[in-house]
Structure 1
Amino acid sequence: MPKAMARHILVKTEAEAEQLKKRLANGEAFDVLAKKHSLCPSGKRGGDLGEVRPGQMVRAIDQVIFKKPLRTVHGPIKSAFGYHLVQVFYRE
């Protein structure tokens, strides 16, 4: 079964996600922004979701983790929880 290592930032609004994505593009550290802004408990770990398998995350996030390019910040991605920025480190 495939597995991947990813991290994410979860915020309430698309505008907030867009602003954080710009800050990441300008060189700010993902883990620092996740700790400060993410609403997900993973924010305390710098957004680290650990190793995930298909079906563990909501469908929209699953699609990014298992189909989109690695080491790119994807999003904002809307889910029932809010807006996500997702970065995938590896997948096997």
Structure 2
Amino acid sequence: MKVMATALARHILVSSKDEAEKLKQRLAKGEDFAKLAKKHSSCKSGRRGGDLGEVRPGQMVKAIDQVIFKKPVLTVHGPIKTQFGFHLVQVVFRD
């Protein structure tokens, strides 16, 4: 029996690619992901520091799902454009 993969991820959602790029640069310089998410993210997860909790394949929009389950862990990925805006995504853990 195949066990469904799970991952813990967090993200920051903003309305412009430019804003996402600027936040990504700040993260690269060592700024705290959770603090930036609380201040800038338009997603309600921002109140939790961008924490999306435990996610399984297919729960997120396809572009985000691809990042969460196929890209390296503990790297900030993005900006990723979806119908909601531009995301910076970090996978904290994946099994």
Q: Aligning the two structures, in what range does the TM-score lie when normalised by the shorter sequence?
A: over 0.9
Aligned counterparts of 2:72 and 2:26: Cα–Cα separation in 1: 20
Aligned positions, number: 92
SS where residue 64 of structure 1 aligns?
A: helix
| Corresponding residue number in structure 2 for 1:50 | 53
Root-mean-square deviation (Å): 0.4
Q: Which runs of 5+ in 2 are unaligned?
A: none
**TM-score between both structures, scaled by the size of structure 1:** 0.99
The SS at the match of 2:66 is: helix
Whole-angstrom CA distance in 2 between matches of 1:90 and 1:35: 21
CA distance in structure 2 between the partners assigned to 1:27 and 1:51 by the alignment:
24
Q: Which runs of 5+ in 1 are unaligned?
A: none
TM-score by length of 2: 0.96
In the alignment, which of 73, 77, 81 is matched to residue 74 of structure 1?
77
Q: CA shift at 1:4, angstroms?
A: 0.3
Distance 2:57 2:51 in 1: 17
Q: Which has the larger radius of gyration?
A: 2
State the secondary structure of the residue aligned to 2:73: coil
